[in-house]
Structure 1
């Protein structure tokens, strides 16, 4: 798997989201379903998110240069944060529209819209499972965000299915006219799920942008570095995430009387050992100091 695989999956997600969003919007308007219209708004946010992710993955794949010596990996975190923000906006729009519809008397949605919701839910869940596998293998925040977009869309479509079903048959079967608003209630419930998904995406992305440490990674680096002969002490360890991997910086201490050439060789051994033994480490900067 590679960046090209992630970019391809992002384009597939974008195309699927645009097509399904258009179908849901058309069906929601013709079938008079608030939940379906709201669901189409969420799908449009998915589409914009997939486009963001695709562009971010292209940027993140660029090699480090003089202007960006650490590379462009954080472009993925920026895209994940923006994607989460889009989900928040979509959830707010869905809630406002649903409350507006509840205040206006209306007929229940058309029953035929249920078939489309079943198809959409299945397609989106399959897309999520396909995309999350690649995203996890590459440890990509942006691709993970894109995959979870598909899962959130599957959840909102399932919620819309339940809401439309209750709105269509509930008033007659249960003798409760108020159940006609189940369509809007499902849309509001789906908005809550979308907000939770947004936080799940934005939280890790924000942590990456703020250079938060990974639990246990610094200690693992210390332990492995201490295994190299002539390393007397690990004075400092810093790590930061960039794209699909981690960049580390270690200050090791050696015998103060050790020749510079030998001390440099020890630093090189530590660097090679850490890159081979610690999963996810893309690069290591070693500072050699006297003990």
Structure 2
């Protein structure tokens, strides 16, 4: 996490809202905000912690996957710079990015597992680091801006035995009818900075259509979860813990209600961390692990949604 945590009450005071206004709208009481740290600083710190926990060094890793919702810059990818900052020598590993916005970590996790299963890698370092606070719509959508926070998380994946921990099932499904519901339009080729700087600047801020997102999620997400559980051969009562992407406290409540998950088995850090984009889900996973909520032999369900709109999930046997 960044060193600085900002409460919603502080933001109320700064923006001229009555005390409690932003927390009531968003459900988020505080979030971490990168003031001195860069996105690369956060990514490197998370990777170093993951490597230390795994008992590995850069010499052991042959693939680094950057799984940030927003890259450090448009070109080149973020992963090679993190590889450099971690002290990897040139040519000792591959490093590239995987982007599925808020589901980037989950997507990279599955890609890493496939690489391991095919024998194309022996140790994969996956990181997600996002600074959401850089492009929030405080002027037009303060209720949306108040949802987000900054952070980073990382994991080391290696091969295990046939009877050890592993992935029981993974599933991704995309519903592009809501493609424009969450977006930052500028930064790619859509808008030309040199021809129309005003339009470019206007689309450099995050925009979200909550009603459109709710429409798609309400209609399709419960069935998506059923498909994932069927693929894993699990029933709802078999799940020991659900680790969701922390889209928003209200979205989490809706997910619990619509899918019939037991509230006590759902990891909820949204009120104190906000939505950290791709870093959200692995941060929640790490916190649950450090709190002792995950033990060997448990069945853990990772779930999330992302801009585009994509639903993602993974059934893990730990």
Shorter-chain TM-score range: under 0.3
- Highest RCO, 1 vs 2 (Cα 8 Å, sep ≥ 6): 2
Q: TM-score, normalised by structure 1?
A: 0.26
| Larger helix fraction of residues | 1
Q: TM-score, normalised by structure 2?
A: 0.24
